[in-house]
Amino acid sequence: MTLFLHVARRAVVAFIGSLVAVVGLFLVVDFAENASVFHGEGWISAVLALYANRAAIVAYQTAPAAMLLAAAITASDLRRTREYTAMRALGLGPWRVVVPVLWVATVVAAGIGWLDDAVVVDATARADEIMATRFHRVGSFQRASERKRWFRGRGGRRIYHLRGGGEQGFERVTVLEVTPAFRLSRRIDASRMTPGGSPGDWKLDDVAERTFREDGGVETSFYPTRIYHFDEEPEAFAIRAGRPAQMRRAVLGEQIALRRRLGLPAQDFALQWHEKIAYPLAGLPAGLVALGLALRRERKGHLTAAIVEAVAVSFAFWAAHGICWSLGLSGRIPPGVAAWAPDALFFLAGAVAVRRYA
C-alpha cells in the first residue's frame, strides 16, 4: 500500500502540473489574441468571468492529454531516481507502477465526466454570451441562444421553423406547407404559437397567412388569433436544435429516443452520448500505452523522452479517434463502436506493451 500511494501521489502531482501548464498556456495565448476587444467600463470583471469559464472548458478538453503526459512523466521520474530499478531488483513487476497510475486516471476520468455535465455545458454558453453581449463578438452565441429548430412534419407536407420553445410555446413561428411536387402552397407566419385545447391544435397569434395559387397569384390574410390543426405528434415539437456536444448526457438520451421514435436522424446524438463517457476515460488507455513506452527495457532519456512519447501517443490516439468518429457519423459503424474503439484498441496495445516490453 505504501508503494501504491507513493506512485499515485507522484502521478497526481504530475497530472496537476501538466494540466495547469496546458490550461495556463491556452488562456495566455487566447488573451493575447483577443486583447484588442477588451475595453469599456467594467471590462476587467467581464474578462475574469470569461476566462474563469474558459478555464473550465479547456481543463475538460485537455485533461485526458494531461493524464497521458502525467503517466509518462511519472514512469520516467521513477527510472531517473533509480526507484524502478530497485523495484525490479526486488522482484516487483511493472504493474506495481501501472496500477496506481491507472487508478489516478480513473479518478480523473470520473472528475472530467462530472465537470462536463455540471460545469462545462453552462460555461460554454456563458463564455459565448460574455463575448457577444459585452465585447460584441457574436460567434455562435446568437444562433444558439435563439434555439431555432427546423424540422419536417409527417410525410414531409409541412416544414416548421420554430424559435424559443418549451411548455409555454414558441415565438416567431413559420410553417411552410408544400405539395407532393415540393411546391410551396401556403406559408403561415405568427409571433407566437401555443398549445390549443385539443390534441394537435395550436393557437397562433398575429398571423399572416399566404396562399400561393398554381397560377402564380398570392392571397394574403391576417388574423389576430387563429387555431390551426397540425398532424404531427406533440413530441415532435420537443426536438432540440444545437450541437450535441453542448448538451448534457441526460438531454442527449431524451433526444435520441425522441428522434428515433419520430424517424429522424440521431446518429450524431448517439455518438456524442457515448463520447460523454468514452472521452473522459481516454486517459486510461492512452496513459497505459505511454507507461508501456516509458517502462520498456533499454529505454534512454527521461523527461524529454517522456514528452516526445506522450506527444506521439497523443497524435496516434487522436488520429484513430478522428477516423472512428467520421465512420460513426457516416453510419458505417455503430455509434458505440465509433466512440469506444479507440479506447479499446489503445488499452489492448498498452497492456501488450507493458506485458512484453516493460
β-bridge mates for residue 208, sequence order: 189, 222
Same-domain status, 296 and 233: no
The domain boundary residue, chosen from 192, 221, 238:
238
Determine, yes or no, domain membership for 260.
Answer: no
Same-domain status, 26 and 134: yes
The domain boundary residue, chosen from 217, 238, 259:
238
The domain boundary residue, chosen from 188, 219, 238:
238
The helix-helix angle for 43-80 and 303-330 (nearest 10°) equals: 120
Determine, yes or no, domain membership for 339.
Answer: yes
Same-domain status, 6 and 96: yes
Same-domain status, 34 and 80: yes
pLDDT tens track for 29-84: 989 988 888 888 888 899 999 999 999 999 999 999 999 999 999 998 888 888 88
Single out the residue of 173, 177, 202 nearest to residue 187, CA to CA: 177
Q: Is residue 136 predicted with pLDDT exceeding 90?
A: no
CA distance to 4, 185, 238, 269, 301, per residue, from 217 (Å):
81, 11, 35, 42, 80
Same-domain status, 101 and 189: no
What domain range is 289 assigned to? 2-139+270-357
Single out the residue of 173, 193, 195, 177 nearest to residue 185, CA to CA: 177
Q: What is the pTM of this model?
A: 0.76
- Give the count of domains, the chain: 2
Determine, yes or no, domain membership for 114.
Answer: yes
Q: In what order do the strands lie in the sheet with 218-229?
A: 149-152, 158-164, 170-178, 184-195, 201-212, 218-229
pLDDT band at 146 (very low <50, low <70, confident <90, very high): very low
Residue type, 116: D
Same-domain status, 60 and 183: no
Determine, yes or no, domain membership for 245.
Answer: no
Same-domain status, 128 and 32: yes
Same-domain status, 217 and 288: no
Determine, yes or no, domain membership for 263.
Answer: no
Same-domain status, 174 and 210: yes
pLDDT at res. 234: 67
pLDDT band at 168 (very low <50, low <70, confident <90, very high): low
- C-beta of residue 188 within 8 angstroms of C-beta of residue 179: no
Same-domain status, 215 and 73: no
For 331-352, give one letter per residue: b (16+ CB within 10 A) or e: eebbbeebbbbbbebbbebbbe
Determine, yes or no, domain membership for 56.
Answer: yes
Same-domain status, 130 and 168: no
Determine, yes or no, domain membership for 227.
Answer: yes
pLDDT at res. 245: 82
- C-beta of residue 236 within 8 angstroms of C-beta of residue 250: no
Same-domain status, 201 and 285: no
Single out the residue of 234, 26, 253 nearest to residue 127, CA to CA: 26
